[in-house]
A and B are shown apart, each in its own frame.
Chain A
Amino acid sequence: MKNKLLIFLLLSLAIIIGVFTRFYKLGESPSGLYIDEAAQGYSAYSLLKTGKDEFGKIFPIVFRSFTDFKTPIYIYLIVPLIPLFDLSAFTVRFPSFFFSILTLPLIYFLLSKLTKSKRIPIITTLLLAISPWHILFGRTNFECNVALFFYLAGIYLFYLGLEKPKILIASAISFAIAIPAYHSQRIIVPLTLIILFLKYKNVLLGKIHLKPFIVGCILGLLISLPTLSVATTPGFLMRAAGLNIFTRNGGHILLSVREFLSLYLSYLTPRNMFILGDYGPRSSFPDLSTFFLWQMPFYLYGLYLLIKNRKLGKLKFVTIFMLLIGPIPAALTRDPYSTIRALPLVIPQNIIIALAIGTILLRLKNNKLKFSFAVLSLGILIYSLAKIYSSIFILNDFYRAKYWDYGWQEVVKIIKTLDPKIPIVVDNARFEPYSQIIFFLKFDPTIYQKENFEVPLNQYYTNMNRVKEKKIGNITTRNINWDKDLFIDEYLMGDELAISEQQIKEHHLELIAVVYYPDKSVAFRIVRTNYLALPVNR
């Protein structure tokens, strides 16, 4: 009874910490709204208002976007949130937050199913609640966290299904949702299903389980049918084709094998996990790696325990297979240590750390030692939370605002105050700002669909042509053409390189407004042309 109460309290603590670390300033930090976040948000907005995405496609299976063909689940999850929370950064990040919180009790129940130990499930849940890796993708619009939830739910329901066969159907549904939820799940889920089938084939093909197993397979296949129907199109394969290591190595098998193994190993090594972290400015926080440095000795000891201890049963099996297949999709792509693609790995690596902590805790017989351990743990927890605060809300917002496309909300606010009769040109030489503009303007999707044409709808998944010039009412996104634009009365908008102070002077431009990054460097300038002031001989 006492133990149950303690576990309930610790689980509640984990969820409270999880909510705090993910919900606090959800729409404000990271500062800005990245291009993909805005694109997903507007696709959802367009679907809500017209039943079509911004290209006019009715309920797409994968979203064309910048011809990177985004996975659909996340976008469809945003749709019902827009009437509730309006179209905002908060709304587009909310599904990540919501499912990352749901993952906390889910991992607790899954591990409780796999092991009799009371410690390992609760320690893992607490570690996941404070995990920098899981927090990052729990407060930003990345599809991987939603996919992780459905993947874990699939495994949990599978183990429940081994006892109550009908639940196998729910497991199949969950796995089927995970596949289109994020690109890497297209590899992870099938591999997981093969491993689980091989391990439990005698049970699954037995009298009691066979019927729900077959029903589950059929239902899973039916749910996957839309995905399968576009699986061979260039659009669906776009990401894999562009990122895989085999094309980059010119099909050289030796180089590809070497690179794959090198990348694979990089996901399991302490140096990346505890020191370097992800190199991407949006997939990491400054001064914070994927795991806390204090977890490193536990990780090494936990690995040893995982290999050595033969009594871990199902927990050992699940941890090892998740650990081994987790890096595969990421290692097939060129980026070193891509934490987005390898997110499922956060689970087995936290289990390994929890295994070490749990084992040490078990060996503490003396009450004084136990008390000291509890005090030390509390100290580490407070330090870790403070470190998270420092990295996410202080350093990241200051140094990484530029990478999160900070400034467009402010730009749109200014645009709204400008004379609507005068055209506006937004420079797109170095970025594609149209998605952020239509997002913050909440531009009418019907008008946008009419004014902008990219490819015929029957070539939505197959034609990779792009039209970079976009028309948004009186706003056009294109490169500034100084030779022509200077002689038209219009507003020009661009970054520091597009519109420098020298250009303003030289072209007699009227400075309307400047948007600054949090570090006070110039993000964007808005000017008005002044052709009457130009020298006559120009």
Chain B
Amino acid sequence: MSGYLNALSWQWVLDATIRSLAISVVVALLSGFLGVVMAWVVTRTDAPGADILGGVLSVPYAIPAYLLGMAWVVLGNPQVGLLKAFFPSSGSYGFWGIVFVETSVAFAFPYLELKAGFERLDAAFEEAARMSGATPGRVFRDISLPLLWPSLLNGMILAFLYSLSAFGVPALLGLPVRQFTLTTLIYSQLKLGGGSGLVGGFALSLLLLCIAAVGLVLSSRVSRSKSLSGGKSSHQTRVKLGRWRAPVSAFGWGFFGIAVILPWIALALSALAPVAGRYSPRLWTLEHLGYVLKLQDFREALVNSLFLAGAVATLITFVGFSLGFLAVRRRQGWASVIIQALGLPFATPGTVLAMGVLFVAVVCARFGMPINEPLLMMAAAYGFKYAAVAARSLVTAFSQVDPVMEEAARVSGANTAELLWTIWLPLLRKTLLSAWWLGFLPMLTELTMSVLLTGPGAATLGTVLFELQEYADQPSAAALAWLLLTAALGVGLMSIKRGDWSFRKSAS
């Protein structure tokens, strides 16, 4: 311990710890607020375009937050930024910049949870209250919110852990103004090299894990939930907003515009510019977009990333489904403990997690079991990192659905496999999809861990992006980022048209 203290003053550690905590708490609170409002607007109101909004609001979650950070650096640039007038002289750097960008991604945790929750929730309770004369606000406060409290809390916990372990955004927006968080301090300690740097890095990682563990324990205290909601997704009526239609819709679309469209424009301009900083339309060129599309690595990465993210997301959804069933319906304590414990790797910075995987690989090689497959190592790292996302949202869903159907099936002689297949799978279809999606999207573009674990033949979208950023130039990196964001938007929009496998409010 004393070895690393000569490089790291307690003041520095304390400063970073407080900043990390403050950022994570503020992000969690803002995410919770936005998640509730947006999920309610898109599932329960007649706001214009609510269905489309419902699909596209998950888009920011699909791209690495640090790309959004990149876009906001461009937008807030004090010299040439498109929105420089709205920014302080320091641009988008510092505490509020980090909070803002992380919230625009992390709000998807409570949002997607609550959206699935609202869709699962039997509207009969809300209708009963409304018929008894309660205003929409009152219904929301007294009926929907208490019922969906576990989903909200879980979403906020995920948002908290997410920003606690976030590296890209604090590095991009914090380091230039010397505002360290625990993750960037860990990174700089590991990069310092030597024994003391390594010890310092891992000591700080332990500190981060302790904070995450305290957060998880506190949250499990308050989230004792009652299963009050009906499992059948019955017909849902929408609140007539009346004169509030326009303002509510404007708020929803305004948020979408700021969180997604502005960064999309910024990345497009950066991709079209011949060199960074020259955005005049006369100079626009498709050179960088063409360069990225023709890149051999990009094609390899596309295949690898789709395959990896798809396979691991399916696996963790299945594991989460089974663990959730065991923990909630079979009251197996060990399953609950595992689900809580999965929150720790989720809160671990990717750098530390990837180094752990590498360490295990080295140990395995010592004992004659060489693991030379980078894709396998990435799959393991992804799985550990994101298993919590699927497991936690499924456990919440299991605990919220009335088990009356399961009991009926059991009485009729169904075994466990039949129960899961014929009762729970259809009942939790929406939550399963949102859990899969919550895992799939960040894995598709995962960068921090992939960069450390990649090898020949194992390029992923994240590693290609990193290489463009480091070794090519800003416009090429922006071109790939823009392509990814556009693809995410496309998928979001398509899922509304196709309707079936998506988040669209189904008319079942």
Check if A and B associate: no
Which residues of A line the B interface, CB within 8 A? none
